[in-house]
Amino acid sequence: MSGTPIPTAPDSGRPAPIRKAALPVLIGGMIAFGLLLPGGQGLLGAALLAMAALGTLAASLARRERAARRDMAWLLASMDRISQGQFEADHGAVQTPDDGPFRDVVDVITQRFRQTIEGLHEVAQRDALTSLFNRASFERAAERQLKKGSGISAILFIDIDGFKGVNDTLGHNFGDRLLQIAADRLRLATRLDEFLAEDGETVPDLPETVTLARFGGDEFTVCLSGIAAEAVARKIASRILRVISEPFELGAHMASVGASIGIAFAGKDGATYSDLLRAADTAMYHAKRSGRNRVELYTSALDDEAHRIAVEEQELREALSRGEFELHFQPLYDCRTLSITSAEALLRWRHPQRGLVLPGEFIPLAERANLMNAIGEWVVGEAVRRIAEFAAAKRPLRISVNVSPIQLETVEFIAMVKASLQRWDAPPGLLELEITEDVAMRDVDLAADRLARIARMGVSVTIDDFGTGYSNLASLIRLPFTRLKIDRSLLQDLMARPEARVLAQTIISMANGLGFHSVAEGVETREQLELLAVMGCDEVQGYLLSRPVSHPELVRLLLDSRPYGVVNPKSTIAA
């Protein structure tokens, strides 16, 4: 005889839970049996005691299950937050799942835990901003690809040229958006199914695998594996260069940047991932030094150059602490009286072995080594110190200092100028800052704000190298300039070409009409000097009157009150 089957929950195969309504029937039946059977009272008492014990155990188990369900509900909610990128702890109340078998809750927890772990693994491999591989994941993926050894493998190291300017002028939010767009363009530029040659035909022998990563900051890396020829890597790099060079739309702003790309090939440029990465990085920096926005292949000769530059960078860093920098001064002269009106401070590096080094040889190095702000601060401080000395000696002299675009874009620059004036108690009106035309026009709003704040301190501002850029004259009058320096290139043909004279006269007349003092730099002949005086130019500067001189020589020139190295040409002009 077969027994009665255990009731089960629908479609579960599990025993059905005992309903609460069945408990009174069960207890009543037990009491009846206890009263009717001989000796049933003892049996009944034992049964009731057993039931009481079972009830206590059931209540305890129920409490534990409810607590476990609460803990599991909190765990589920926590895993949901983690999967959404919210990692902070939350001990608030959560809804406890009271329905359903306890085993089902455990199954849900297990599945969700597995999904969360997989999600965290994915998050750990990706850059949070661009969703490309991060540096650690790129290293693992590249090492796997290099070990396959099928075809040629290459690593491309990409640095965004001009990104710092965007970040500093527009803000980090716009900088982050630019990096996101750049990452999207990198994905498109390296898609194998759409990669086309310049002539419109599909490129043969494409890489088997392409791995992209944001290496850090504004640097990206690409690993190509299984390519048949090095030309494929160069073609992909050229395409990356093109897409990065296209303008970026950042809200209401448009930004233009470039890219410097270095390429290293497995085998000939290195056997390991670290060797290839270093070689590609070296080639990328060579691309930057060679003019930026270009592709360079690694060669062993670049290592010698990189070593030399590293040594020079270290020497440049130590030059500040060792006091090896000094200022020379080139006087400016009144075009009619030829008396000294001011002087331009020019930086020199007194190198222990190389002697006096001109700024053209070390300023590019200082820019790459992020030393421009530190060096610029020293130049302003030293110029202000000299201003204070001349003022204290009752020979006040206006001294001008060239300001780099890196300095102008730095928020701390204005505070630094103010602090230098206060430190040396120097008259602000004797300090002049020179901004080149292209720097002023690069971001007119930024330049207008910074220069206006400088002008409010009493410091004068000059636009330098005027005539070499593409100034918007409507924007030019928004800037608080007091002087306009005509670039020396416009004076080279002043005597030979009538149109050059017309252009120079036009600039001088425009400056005078706008209330600017006009200054001509690069004056090297008496004929140029005489013609500029006739045109109404206010001040002149050049080798005809004085080369850059040391501070003691400048003092002598001021005392002598005659042009350095020239017999006074006043009579020539008067004639």
Give the pLDDT of residue 34.
52
Choice between 82 and 324, residue whose per-residue pLDDT is larger: 324
Confidence class for position 88, pLDDT limits 50, 70, 90: low
263 and 332, same domain (yes or no): no
Give 448-459 pLDDT, tens digit per residue. 889 999 999 999
Tokens describing residue 123: 């998050």
260 and 147, same domain (yes or no): yes
CA distance 367 to 477: 30
Q: Are 347 and 375 in contact (CB under 8 A)?
A: yes
282 and 332, same domain (yes or no): no
**CATH code assigned at 330:** 3.20.20.450
Which position has the token pair 């928004």? 478
Give me the chain's average pLDDT, please. Answer: 81
**Maximum separation of any 2 CA atoms in the chain, in Å:** 153
Which position has the token pair 């530059």? 309
Give the pLDDT of residue 181.
96
**For residue 122, is it within any domain?**
no
289 and 242, same domain (yes or no): yes
**Is the pLDDT reported for residue 25 higher than 70?**
no
324 and 215, same domain (yes or no): no
Tokens describing residue 132: 């490309």
pTM of the predicted model, to two decimals? 0.61
Mean per-residue pLDDT, 164-173: 82
246 and 208, same domain (yes or no): yes
Give the pLDDT of residue 199.
45
HSE-up (13 A, CA, CB side) for residue 441: 18
225 and 328, same domain (yes or no): no
**Is the pLDDT reported for residue 82 higher than 60?**
no
**CATH code assigned at 215:** 3.30.70.270
**For residue 34, is it within any domain?**
no
407 and 450, same domain (yes or no): yes
**Is the pLDDT reported for residue 566 higher than 80?**
no
State what percent of residues in the chain have pLDDT above 70. 72
**Is the pLDDT reported for residue 408 higher than 90?**
no
**For residue 99, is it within any domain?**
no
290 and 153, same domain (yes or no): yes
387 and 490, same domain (yes or no): yes
Number of structural domains the chain divides into: 2
Range of the domain at 416: 319-574
248 and 166, same domain (yes or no): yes
Give 219-230 pLDDT, tens digit per residue. 999 999 888 788
Mean per-residue pLDDT, 542-557: 95
Give the pLDDT of residue 276.
94
Give the pLDDT of residue 74.
63
Confidence class for position 386, pLDDT limits 50, 70, 90: very high
Look at residues 251, 268, 301 and tell me which one is the last residue of a structural domain. 301
Question: Which one, of 497, 494, 564, lies nearest residue 534 by Cα?
Answer: 494
**Is the pLDDT reported for residue 572 higher than 50?**
no
**For residue 43, is it within any domain?**
no
272 and 224, same domain (yes or no): yes
**For residue 274, is it within any domain?**
yes
Confidence class for position 198, pLDDT limits 50, 70, 90: very low
CA distance 134 to 246: 25
**For residue 6, is it within any domain?**
no
CA distance 483 to 333: 14
Give the pLDDT of residue 197.
47
**Is the pLDDT reported for residue 289 higher than 50?**
yes
**For residue 19, is it within any domain?**
no
Give the pLDDT of residue 307.
85
**Is the pLDDT reported for residue 417 higher than 90?**
yes
**Distances in whole angstroms, Cα of residue 40 to Cα of each of 37, 43, 49, 54, 150:** 5, 5, 14, 20, 88
Mean per-residue pLDDT, 426-449: 88
Look at residues 269, 301, 333 and tell me which one is the last residue of a structural domain. 301
**For residue 445, is it within any domain?**
yes
